[in-house]
Amino acid sequence: MLQDILVTGLVNGGVYALLAIGFSLIFGVARIVNIAHTAFYMLAAYCFYTLLTKTGLGFVLSGLISVSAVTLFSVLCYRLVIEPVREHEAAVLIATIALALVFQELMLYIFGGHFLGIPSTLEGSVRFLGVSIPYQRLLILVVAGAMLVLVWFVLYRTRLGLAIRATANDLEVANLMGMNVHRVAMATVAISVALAAVAGVVVAPVFVVDPFMWLAPLVTMLAIVVLGGLGSMKGSLIGALIIGYVEAITVFAVPAGAYLKGAVALLIMVIVLLARPEGLFGVAFEEER
């Protein structure tokens, strides 16, 4: 059981990290609370499913196409829906909620409400420390790790990353220093949704695909981001691992744990917030008046 907990926690933590870091990034740079974030994850899973079962493209090709298509689509959504109401925080909030609802209903209409299963991309499993880990879960872990390294590289070793971090730090000063903050915000949206889309594609064969699959990870992701500190990459990563393990422990070790896993994760978030209102690694934003 211990090994089960270790492996499941790590794999779920990896997926949550992909989602939470993207969400955190977009909040840090553009101050957008993007409720539709996990809806893009759902879109990517559906896109992957369609390409895989209808066109007969390979796994790798379908995955790449889904991620890039969803990313492009997200930029389009940002330009058409979010940017016109950027000054009104409340309007942005419900615009993202409405977008998520639109995606959910579109998928419900096109594919129906039943669960869709995707054949496993990789068969077989490897035995490690006495636990058999299916290759599919190992793949999730590897992809998540690779994406995290990639994001770290983009953020800390490129000029775009510098611009993103500068904008997150202080939008006005970054603007005065000659950075095109609108372009930076758009690039951030693309990066963050690409992360969500990658998560959607890799988990699709493990979880079931249905139009409501965005709700549960949304709540967990929000808990992680708040736990780790809004806008902090390190916090999101560590928060994701904490919540991943807490969920795994609750499911495996507590009776009726499957019902309680969300509640326990959220309870931990609330406790952390009580002790440290800005989250574990949060930077207390200066008074924004």
Partner 1 sequence: MYWLRRAWAELRNEVFVLPSRTLVLTWVVAVLALPFVYGDAYVLRILTMTCIFAIFAASWDLLAGYTGQVNFGHALFFGAGAYTSGLLSLKFGLSPWLTIWAGAAVALSFGFLVGYLCLRLRGSYLSLATLAFPLIALGLLFAFPDFSGGELGISGLRRLMPTPTGNYYVAAISMLAIVFGLWLLADSKFGIVLHAIRDDEVAARASGINTLQYKMTVFAIAGAAAGFAGALFAHYLRVAGPSTLEVALSFQVVIWGIFGGVATIYGPVAAVFILYPLTEWLGSIPGVGELRLLIFAVIVLLVLLFMPRGLAPWVRDKIETQCPRCKQRNGSWKSVCRLCGAALRRIDPKLQAQVPGA
DSSP letters, 136-157, are HHHHHHHHHHHHHHHHHHHHHH
Nearest distance, CB of residue 169 and partner 1, angstroms: 17
* Cβ proximity to partner 1, 32 vs 191, nearer residue: 32
* Cβ proximity to partner 1, 2 vs 270, nearer residue: 270
* Cβ proximity to partner 1, 94 vs 146, nearer residue: 94
- Rounded-to-integer distance, Cα 144 and Cα 23, Å: 15
Nearest distance, CB of residue 192 and partner 1, angstroms: 16
Nearest distance, CB of residue 211 and partner 1, angstroms: 10
Nearest distance, CB of residue 55 and partner 1, angstroms: 26
**243-270: string of b/e by CB count within 10 Å (b at 16+)?**
bbbbbbbbbbeeeeeeeebbebbbebbe
* Cβ proximity to partner 1, 54 vs 289, nearer residue: 289
* Cβ proximity to partner 1, 100 vs 147, nearer residue: 100
- The answer to whether 174 touches 184, Cβ cutoff 8 Å, is yes
Q: Which two tokens stand for residue 254?
A: 């507590």
* Cβ proximity to partner 1, 123 vs 288, nearer residue: 288
- Rounded-to-integer distance, Cα 45 and Cα 244, Å: 21
**148-163: string of b/e by CB count within 10 Å (b at 16+)?**
beebeeebeeeebbeb
Nearest distance, CB of residue 29 and partner 1, angstroms: 14
Nearest distance, CB of residue 59 and partner 1, angstroms: 31
Nearest distance, CB of residue 257 and partner 1, angstroms: 9
DSSP letters, 8-48, are HHHHHHHHHHHHHHHHHHHHHHH----TTHHHHHHHHHHHH
As separate numbers, helices (DSSP H) first and strands (DSSP E) second, the chain gives 11, 2
* Cβ proximity to partner 1, 46 vs 59, nearer residue: 46
- Rounded-to-integer distance, Cα 87 and Cα 92, Å: 8
Residues lying near partner 1 in the complex (CB under 8 A): 27, 33, 35, 81, 84-85, 87-88, 90-91, 93-95, 97-99, 101-102, 104-106, 108-109, 215, 218-219, 222-223, 225-226, 230, 256, 259-264, 266-267, 269-270, 273-274, 277-279, 285, 287, 289
